[in-house]
């Protein structure tokens, strides 16, 4: 079957794929304690235990360019480990009620689980900053402002994540105002074509992803591991299948499931396994090499608005990322730098795109 013909059937296959990826309903593990059972219950009790705060910053100025996927910022909060999502007394009542509505999406019976709350903004621009009219052979101006709610569960070898992102594309994303403010502060010329950006549109994205540690070795003071991932995204923002691999080598590699750029289900360092409470108890340094391949059925930032006419380009159905990076961790935190190279995303794109990514993770 031809690739494009196969891709045209992706939307009808996604419900089955996502159900296969989304693990069993969350079940309380008999005998597994809650963090709040030894103190007055509530979110304040949960906050007494180590939580993780991730700050992401990505920009193609690291590569000396200012176009395509030109900037992304994201913040995520990762809770301490939970007994489960619907009964743990650490969670406020309204959160437990919400989780009951989404119970079929929750990762299932694992040694540890937690919740993730995210918020972020991404922006996309063509190469020519001076033209005021639509550039038909280059990508549309676009911004994406969103909030997300995710569920993680893991054991020693596997981590499952489901995440729902809600937000807005278009002028309401404030991408133009954000870029103009930063450019004005730094003395960089503004882009003149933002009046042609995609129109306002509510955005929805549901993502399920599974990560597996398939190799783990140590010797001569060094550690090595390999982590695979595969998943799917469904929504009017992006619809795709993806798979990839990460290789890591260094001293005291953290007991997590690797590093990724800003993307749904990509938060690193979460969760911990079993009763361990500290993610960053030891210092260490490691390098990594990673790859991600996607079969893309829909991308609003290339296909244009879903429910109205807008500027769009002919996207490529197969896209890949290759990254190299280094991560340093200390007691209470970790900082990561990576350089990503992305293959051409649309047919008239002049060349591959590259950007830098910095992630700061702090534990309190």
Separation in Å, CA 314 to CA 42, 261, 296, 305, 344 = 50, 24, 12, 14, 11
Kindly give, in sequence order, each residue whose CB lies less than 8 Å from that of residue 217, ignoring residues fewer than 6 positions away.
223, 224, 225
Residue 26 has pLDDT above 50, yes or no: no
Separation in Å, CA 158 to CA 107, 214, 288, 336 = 11, 9, 19, 22
pLDDT the model gives residue 259: 85
Give CA–CA dist 153/159, Å, rounded: 6
The confidence band for 269, taking pLDDT boundaries of 50, 70 and 90, is low
Looking at residues 350-358, what average pLDDT do you find? 96
pLDDT the model gives residue 276: 63
Give CA–CA dist 282/19, Å, rounded: 38
The confidence band for 120, taking pLDDT boundaries of 50, 70 and 90, is very high
Which segment of 78-87, 171-180, 264-273 scores lowest on mean pLDDT? 264-273
Residue 91 has pLDDT above 50, yes or no: yes
pLDDT the model gives residue 170: 98
pLDDT the model gives residue 24: 43
pLDDT the model gives residue 11: 45
Domain ranges of the chain: 3-363
The confidence band for 82, taking pLDDT boundaries of 50, 70 and 90, is confident
Residue 27 has pLDDT above 60, yes or no: no
Kindly give, in sequence order, each residue whose CB lies less than 8 Å from that of residue 339, ignoring residues fewer than 6 positions away.
62, 63, 323, 324, 325, 354, 355, 356, 357
Q: What superfamily in CATH does domain 3-363 come from?
A: Outer membrane protein (2.40.128.140)
Residue 161 has pLDDT above 70, yes or no: yes
Kindly give, in sequence order, each residue whose CB lies less than 8 Å from that of residue 279, ignoring residues fewer than 6 positions away.
50, 52, 254, 255, 256, 269, 272, 361, 363
Give CA–CA dist 309/256, Å, rounded: 43
Looking at residues 257-284, what average pLDDT do you find? 71
Distance, C-alpha 165 to centroid of its chain: 10
Residue 23 has pLDDT above 50, yes or no: no
Looking at residues 263-280, what average pLDDT do you find? 65
Residue 31 has pLDDT above 60, yes or no: no
Chain mean pLDDT for the chain: 86
pLDDT the model gives residue 282: 77
Instruction: Choose among 130, 88, 127: nearest CA to 106.
Output: 88
Distance, C-alpha 78 to centroid of its chain: 13
Residue 19 has pLDDT above 90, yes or no: no
Q: Find out whether 25 and 103 touch, Cβ atoms under 8 Å.
A: yes
CB atoms within 10 A of CB 195: 11
The predicted-structure confidence for 136-157, as pLDDT tens digits, reads as follows 999 999 999 999 999 988 888 9
Residue 14 has pLDDT above 70, yes or no: no
Share of the chain above pLDDT 70, in %: 82
The predicted-structure confidence for 226-266, as pLDDT tens digits, reads as follows 999 999 999 999 999 999 999 999 998 888 888 888 877 77
Residue 5 has pLDDT above 60, yes or no: no
């Amino acid at each position: 079957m031809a690739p494009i013909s196969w891709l045209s059937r992706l939307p009808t296959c996604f419900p089955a794929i996502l159900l296969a990826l989304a693990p069993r309903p969350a079940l309380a593990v008999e005998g597994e304690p809650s963090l709040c059972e030894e103190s007055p219950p509530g979110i304040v009790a949960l906050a007494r235990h180590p939580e993780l705060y991730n700050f992401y910053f990505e920009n193609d100025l690291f590569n000396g360019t200012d176009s395509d996927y030109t900037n992304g910022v994201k913040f995520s909060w990762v809770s301490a480990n939970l007994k489960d999502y619907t009964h743990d007394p650490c969670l406020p009542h309204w959160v437990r009620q919400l989780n009951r509505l989404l119970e079929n999406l929750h990762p299932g019976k694992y040694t540890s689980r937690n919740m993730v709350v995210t918020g972020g903004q991404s922006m996309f621009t063509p190469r020519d900053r001076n033209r005021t009219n639509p550039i038909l052979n280059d990508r549309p101006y676009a911004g994406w402002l969103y909030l997300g709610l995710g569920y993680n569960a893991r054991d020693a070898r596997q981590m499952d994540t489901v995440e729902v992102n809600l937000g807005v594309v278009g002028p309401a994303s404030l991408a133009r105002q954000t870029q103009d403010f930063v450019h004005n502060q730094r003395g960089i010329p503004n882009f003149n074509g933002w009046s042609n950006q995609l129109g306002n549109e509510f955005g929805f994205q549901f993502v399920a992803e599974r990560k597996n540690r398939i190799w783990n070795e140590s010797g001569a003071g060094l550690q090595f591991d390999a982590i695979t991932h595969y998943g799917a995204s469904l929504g009017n923002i992006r619809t795709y299948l993806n798979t990839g691999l990460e290789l890591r080598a260094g001293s005291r590699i953290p007991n997590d499931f690797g590093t990724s750029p800003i993307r749904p289900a990509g938060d690193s360092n979460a969760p911990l396994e079993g009763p361990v409470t500290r993610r960053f108890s030891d210092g260490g340094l490691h390098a990594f090499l990673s790859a991600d391949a996607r079969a893309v059925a829909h991308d609003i930032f290339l296909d244009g608005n879903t429910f109205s006419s807008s500027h769009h380009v002919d996207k490529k159905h197969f896209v890949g990322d290759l990254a190299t990076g280094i991560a340093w961790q200390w007691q209470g935190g970790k900082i990561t730098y990576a350089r990503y190279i992305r293959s051409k995303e649309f047919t008239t794109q002049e060349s591959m795109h590259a950007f830098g990514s910095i992630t700061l993770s702090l534990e309190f």
